[in-house]
Amino acid sequence: MPLMKIVVYTAIYGINAGLVKQPQFPGVDYVCFTDNGSLRSKLWDVRLVKGQIEGDHTRNNRYYKINPHKFFLEYDISIYVDGNFLIIGDIISLCKSTLKNFDMACFDHNQTFSDKRDCIYDEYGAILKITHKKAYKDDPDIMLKQIQGFKKEGYPKNNGLIVGGVLIRRHNKPNVIKVMDAWWQILLTGSKRDQLSFNYVAWKNNFKYKLINGDARYGNPWFRILGPNMKSYWFRIIKYRLFTLLGIKRS
């Protein structure tokens, strides 16, 4: 594989969170889209841009997450990471291995340690359980309508479920653009929960992608989640590096 130009990017909207200090790699740039004018970083190119949808921070994040082809024409590969992910391994080698025969790679929800799922319909059920606990994720009526639509089209059960926190793509490839455009349209008009529709879109377009081995959050050698509370992420980084130094593995 020839020398690749890679961009790692994230999108932070509606929250007062800092940027994770990531390792540097040759030929890799870091970009953050945000509405937070106070964000500063020596590593990240912080791009202050107004959200596409007034007051909808989730969809504003998803707009940049799903549409790298609109912003990164000069890059061969993009790696989207949620704002609370730390890169701990060689992402250049990861891109070479995962994109050798594919144009997109991501993690498999069925390889997570604590909440294995391989089905959009099960994901819908899990979101409803969270909603019933007063942790509102999306409008239940909108989600139900979307799920019923998938069933009517014959979308099968147990057809896979991605983890959306890390997405590696040759984003300028026409087949990737087609799938991302279709995915975004569902996010725009249906449920804003992106994991509730990607596998359907891939199935609908006969789009093949590579699954990265391991749990996206803890059980892989490339990324580690720092938790939902970004205010404590420095403590989590120190804890991770201390555990690594001592040879302690989190299971």
Q: Considering the chain, what percentage of its residues have pLDDT values greater than 70?
A: 88
pLDDT in tens, 143-194: 999 999 999 999 999 999 999 999 999 999 999 999 999 999 999 999 999 9
The token pair that represents 115 in the structure block? 């909440």
Give the pLDDT score at 92: 97
- Provide CB contacts within 8 A for 121, sequence distance 6+: 147, 157
pTM of the model: 0.90
Q: What's the rounded Cα separation, in Å, for the pair 211 and 9?
A: 20
Question: At 87, phi and psi to the nearest 5?
Answer: -85, 125
Confidence class for position 239, pLDDT limits 50, 70, 90: low
Q: What is the arrangement of strands in the sheet containing 210-212, beginning at the earlier edge strand? A: 45-48, 28-34, 6-12, 77-81, 162-169, 104-108, 210-212
Confidence class for position 228, pLDDT limits 50, 70, 90: low
Q: Which of 125, 91, 38 is nearest to 221 (CA)?
A: 91
Confidence class for position 251, pLDDT limits 50, 70, 90: very low
Confidence class for position 135, pLDDT limits 50, 70, 90: low
Give the pLDDT score at 250: 54
Mean predicted lDDT score pLDDT of the chain: 91
- Which segment of 1-10, 45-54, 72-81, 143-152 scores lowest on mean pLDDT? 1-10
pLDDT in tens, 91-131: 999 999 999 999 999 999 999 988 999 999 999 999 998 87
pLDDT in tens, 23-42: 999 999 999 999 999 999 99
The hierarchical CATH code for the domain 6-246 is 3.90.550
Whether 216 and 184 have beta carbons less than 8 Å apart is answered as no
Task: Write the single-letter amino acid at 137.
Answer: K
Q: Domain residues of the chain, as ranges?
A: 6-246
Whole-angstrom CA distances from 41 to 22, 64, 98, 213 are 11, 19, 29, 31
Whether 109 and 117 have beta carbons less than 8 Å apart is answered as yes
